């Protein structure tokens, strides 16, 4: 298993400022999701460590990934060429899933796998061109077989309800915009993306071992 450490020459330098090329929706989604995870972790702790998120256990990793939610979303955006709207719709799917399965908590063990699965599904619905599961698996730090399984599980848990009306989309955008204004006084703009990568550009690494961005490697391998 390839592990990126601080001394790894293939690791991109740590950023002290947000990437100007990253859409603002990534920042606000990161903020909202981090708050949600922290709240649910506290709820789980107060319940004596009960398995409140057992309905989502298929999305659980063996340990919380080292990579943060903001860096994970940035990684997906950087490599997959999906439009920023996919991140909003992916968040809608996660929210819909949780409401359909009460007691299913989004926590540090499952949030990354939920994100890569939901964003990939959103890209398939929204974008005219999108990468396949193998590419998303490599970006997300899971195997292709696992992502295929997560996709099927996610679809059945949603009863294959992937329709998002313009009214629902706008309501979530307004919610995120309010959060953005509260956070830094700026308005949210959902932009479209226009980038392309090949699967060889993605460093192959487990999501649990991600600590930061991986660089573009032509032969990222497993140890």
Sign of the dihedral through C-alpha 114, 25, 76, 171 = positive
Whether 91 has a pLDDT exceeding 60, the answer reads yes
| Contact criterion met (CB below 8 Å) for 212 and 3 | no
Whether 9 has a pLDDT exceeding 50, the answer reads no
Mean pLDDT confidence for 80-97: 95
Q: Could you tell me which residues are beta bridge partners of residue 214?
A: 11
Six-digit token pair at 193?
């993306």
Which pLDDT does position 65 carry in this prediction? 92
Which has the minimum average pLDDT: 138-142, 160-164, 219-223? 219-223
pLDDT band at 102 (very low <50, low <70, confident <90, very high): confident
Mean pLDDT confidence for 62-69: 92
| Domain 24-158 = CATH 3.40.50.300 | no
Q: What is the CA radius of gyration of the chain?
A: 17
Whether 112 has a pLDDT exceeding 50, the answer reads yes
Q: What does the DSSP 8-state code read for residue 184? A: H
**For the chain, domain boundaries:** 24-158
Which pLDDT does position 222 carry in this prediction? 23
Whether 16 has a pLDDT exceeding 60, the answer reads no
64 versus 202: which is more confidently predicted? 64
- In Å, how far from its chain's centre is CA 38? 16
Whether 139 has a pLDDT exceeding 80, the answer reads yes
Mean pLDDT confidence for 110-130: 96
Torsion of CA 17, 21, 24, 28, to 10 degrees: -50
pLDDT band at 183 (very low <50, low <70, confident <90, very high): low
């Amino acid at each position: 298993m390839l592990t990126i450490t601080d001394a790894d020459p293939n690791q991109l330098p740590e950023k002290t400022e947000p990437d100007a090329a990253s859409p603002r929706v990534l920042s606000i989604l990161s903020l909202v999701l981090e708050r949600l995870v922290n709240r649910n972790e506290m709820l789980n702790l107060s319940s004596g460590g009960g398995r409140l998120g057992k309905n989502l256990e298929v999305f659980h990793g063996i340990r919380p990934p080292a990579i943060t939610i903001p860096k994970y979303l940035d990684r997906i955006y950087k490599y997959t060429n999906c439009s920023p709207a996919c991140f909003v719709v992916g968040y809608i799917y996660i929210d819909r899933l949780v409401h359909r399965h009460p007691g299913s908590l989004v926590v540090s063990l499952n949030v990354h796998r939920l994100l890569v699965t939901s964003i990939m599904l959103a890209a398939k619905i929204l974008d005219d061109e999108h990468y396949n599961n193998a590419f998303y698996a490599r970006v997300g730090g899971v195997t292709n077989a696992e992502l295929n399984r997560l996709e099927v599980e996610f679809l059945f848990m949603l009863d294959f309800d992937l329709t998002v009306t313009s009214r629902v989309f706008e309501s979530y955008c307004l919610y995120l915009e309010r959060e953005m204004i509260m956070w830094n006084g700026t308005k949210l703009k959902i932009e479209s993306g226009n980038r392309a990568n090949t699967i060889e550009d993605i460093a192959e690494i487990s999501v649990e071992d991600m600590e930061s961005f991986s660089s573009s490697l032509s032969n990222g391998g497993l140890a």
